[in-house]
Structure 1
Amino acid sequence: MKCPICGKDLDLQNKQIGTSENGDPIFNEYAICHSCKKQWNLDKQRAKKIAAKKAAEEKAKAEAEARAAEEKAKAEAEARAAEEKAKAEAAARAAEEKAKAEAAARAAEEKRAARREAKARARKEAIARLAADKGISEEEAERILKERARARKAAAQKAATDATATDNSEEQKYGNIPAEEIRDKREKAVRKGYEDMLATDPDSKVAKKKKKEEAETAKAKEDVKSRKMDDYDDEKSSDDEDDDEYEYVDEYPRFRPGRIILGIISLLAFGFCIYKGFVTGLSTSGADVTSAPGMNYVIVALCMLVTALLYFIMNNRDTLFAFLIPMIVYIGSAVFAFLKHGDEFELLILAGVSGVLAVISLILAIASRGGDDYDDEDDYDDPFEEEHDN
């Protein structure tokens, strides 16, 4: 720390400035400049800075609270103003609608009063004309008009009653006709009986037409039968010429139990290899992980799992690849286990087992393709032999 006056280094010392209530001394840190003979109480300056900082923070906090209160009051005032404005607008709309409704009601009432006045005026004029024409009093003319009105009303009611009665009579008049479905069924029955009656007459056109149709049907059946026989003869002659190329296809896959057994053996070998791999260990201290004995067991286990899945998936297929592909995988696992067995005797045994399974797969593949041709032609039954003899 430098002296603010001469720029020389200051000497920092703790000096006692007093004692506490318990009699303990109180020390403050002083910065002393021996050149200028000046000293500064650093703790007092720090306390002043802290107090000033605290006062500034309190002042800022008070200002922030004042601004928040002012903004809150302003927002509340705006909300109240908006609410009052909405209420005033709603009241104005309600008053306007009420005024419109009252005006419409007054207009309707005025219109009804005008119609009543026009009707009363027309009635008075009618009574006056009738009284003048008949030479009677207005009371007598009013009575006559009332009787005429009652008569017109009674005539209208009678006309409506007669129209209803007419509709009911028409419905009853046509109510005995059966439904359309029943009429169609009866019509078909009558037509069929008439055709049957005509068919019993040998000289009728219907009987001749029926006989002609039966003859054409029989002729068509004979043509179809003869055409089938010709096709069979052609097929048989072509089979005799190409007898060496004829191959009997069996729809049922061969050696299905053997495939299942080989798949189960492969699954057992897969489980044994996985167990040995995890027991032996899958990693070594070197960088080459594939050189670990446990990893060799895992690779052989994967080969066994692939062969088992192939046998189970291709169990219903009568194809040569159902045996050849697992055989190739067996050979690959056997070669790998033989090359990587080292000091592991179990890997050598697995190589031998894989080789044996490969040989069995090869034997089954060869056997599945053999014995498919017919050597004795007399065992083949001719499906149309009886028809030829006849």
Structure 2
Amino acid sequence: MTSADLDAAALFTLDALANSVAGRNSAPGRILSQWFGANAASNAVPDAGRVAFLLGGLCHILETDDLHRESVVHPGCVVVPAAFALAEKHGLGGRDLLIAVLHGFEAAARVGMAVGPAHYRIWHNTATCGPFGAALAAASLLKLDDDAAMHALGNAGSQSSGLWQFLETGAMTKHLHAGHAAEAGVRAAELASLGFTGPARILEGEKGFFRATCPDADPDAVMRAPEAPWQLVRTSIKPWPSCRHTHPTIDAGEELRARMIADGVAFDAISEIEIGTYQAALDVCDRPVATSDYEAKFSLQHSIAAALTCPLVDFEAFGDAARTACGPLAARVKVKRAEPWAAAYPASWGGRVVVRLASGAEYAAERMHAKGDPEAPLSRDEMIAKARMLLAHGDAQCSDRLVDAILGMASGGVLPHLNLY
């Protein structure tokens, strides 16, 4: 473990905690905060599991949290809340937290890489693989030995759950997934520290996780390539507040917008837009009509319309006014499964956008990787700027001090106070 690893962990921790702060400024965020406040004793130290649930749920609301592509897991919204809640409870230092975050990302991503593509069609990988990451992060902070850590992982895995059914109505369930996964890991590790046992073969057993939920599991992926870099540094950071499956399209769309403006092309001259991408993007984000902010964030059609017509793809680009303005253009979008992006997924998340004009002219752009991927990373300054934007959205006090405190943990600084509960 190097200083560069700890610096990277600090940046990902900053991203996750800034997402938790920003998540307060949303309808589900206000409900989660209300629930937490109504069930918290005013004169008691908040329970670590409940804190992890709150931070995890808040972190996953705005669709701006990180993503590990090969596992299709958002590790930050599960691992960082669990680690932060326990580190705060036990008065641990920032370096301990960052080490735990590295281990937690590793567990969540490696289990996620093993579940197979069929799992993701029904199960939300962040919800099902996240508890393993939260449990290992918690085990690291609690200094559990190997046996106790195994019990924690076994019981965390037995709590794995989370279905995609919420997408039909845009229900708030996805945020519950992240919160539950974070809390499950904390509970499992705390109980393991007291001698509470769990199943050693929770993954590969005859009645275990893979057999129950993974028709095409690849169990060897859990331990494959142990010499590889930390999975945290293989994790992508989102520059735009929408489902990561929409990001290659947005990235290509922004390029096309600039080219069309430079050529003096009016956007009402567009007759058709074609998006070629991989199957998972179609499974989750083929949504021709978006009736809410949340549905728009899971719509390839709206996302390309916004990227082509909005000066900035920010929170407002998915709001009521933007959906109304983008609706006519979104209706001209066709989506399809296409190579080489279909075969390259999940190692690569990409796609191609073709804009066809009434004149017969075409504009095209493609991406093999989206902005924020390890192959096209955000700079340190861009990540800090994103965090400041999120903190401002959440009306955080002293945001510069908070940013400095979180990043300072890599050099031995103390945990910051979030003032969220």
TM-score, L = length of structure 1? 0.17
Q: Which has the higher contact order (CA 8 A, sep 6+)?
A: 2
Structure having the larger proportion of residues in helix: 1
